[in-house]
Structure 1
Amino acid sequence: MSKEILSKQTAGVLSAVMNQPHWNRDELSQRMIQVLKEIKQGVDSKEAYLETLLRNVTFLFANTNHAKSFLKHCIEEETFVAQETFHKLMLDVPRQVNESNYLAENMPHFKEMVYKGSTIEEQAAHAELVYSNSRLVNDLLIDFIGTFLHPNNKEFMVHYLEYASDVVVDTVMSHCQNLSNLILKEIN
């Protein structure tokens, strides 16, 4: 099958995902504002706020990378595992990150992306945007994989197994990023 068909299928799946109640734009906006408010209240300075956002962005990249690897594995092995297996894997990511040097090794790489702006206020605003985007992309990917693995969807999702795993993951990530950008434009 062609990449155009894969792209249309992926857009359809993510459209169905976005119709779920937890993707309501108003509620999503309120949740994002609340999370950022809680992060800000949990620290005692603007610098600590930036550092916390950087830490969260770095963690989200680890989480997203684990999810991408899982999806890639499913495609390569042409297998649909139980959703519970995926959820257990994702619940174990924080432990893996905390027991490794992932944050210490990777936060410097993300610092340049997160800390943009000439003032601390500009940096905080940009860091909030990067965090929100990272969170949305991660959540969209997680929901896509949950839909992919759902037993009721197997007949439709089996078509994904006809493609190379890199092509599937790249297509899904591209759609997740595009949707995240659209959501952020709408709620800002």
Structure 2
Amino acid sequence: MKKRHIIPFAALLIAFLFWSYFKAEPLYKISKVHNPNYTAYNLSSTHFDTLGDISHKMFADKATTFSEKNNTVFINPRVIVYVRNKDNNQISTWQISSKDGLLEDENTLKLTHDVRVENLSLDQLIQNIATEELTLLLDKKEISSNLFITWDGPQMHQQGVGMWASLLSNEMIVKNNIKAVYFNEKN
């Protein structure tokens, strides 16, 4: 090869090497933040069990769903859970509300900040439960918390740390530091 052919070829090769070494960043970056699939405001939804009965209703000021994570984030969620008594076929209605919520895998609802559980039917020994964090298993209708809780019923006020309760079987287990006050007053 002649010198005049080698010099432009070498200059082109050096320019290509510099370009590949100092190559500019792409104009767009892949975001590590998961983008929502959809956001709903003033959410209202009704869910049914396998027999076609209403299982629960969900309400929220805002719901944001992320399909990559398979979860939904709620602002001011409120869930109304319907529990049918197998003995007398009556339905007990429970309302569970909080300031924040996270639904994972369609059945595990984790509620935080000012969580309230209320028996709207007034047909259970426990009428109200309050805590700062609670997990609701929608398919099993179980609630649990590892934090300080208080609960009230007719003529009683109790508190403790950690609990598990089944809305289906009307069972409740409080784990630690139980304190109770019973009132002898008739309502």
Normalised TM-score (structure 2): 0.21
Q: Computing the radius of gyration over CA atoms, which structure comes out larger, 1 or 2? A: 2
Which structure: greater strand fraction?
A: 2
Higher relative contact order (CA 8 A, sep 6+): 1
Normalised TM-score (structure 1): 0.21
Which structure: greater helix fraction?
A: 1
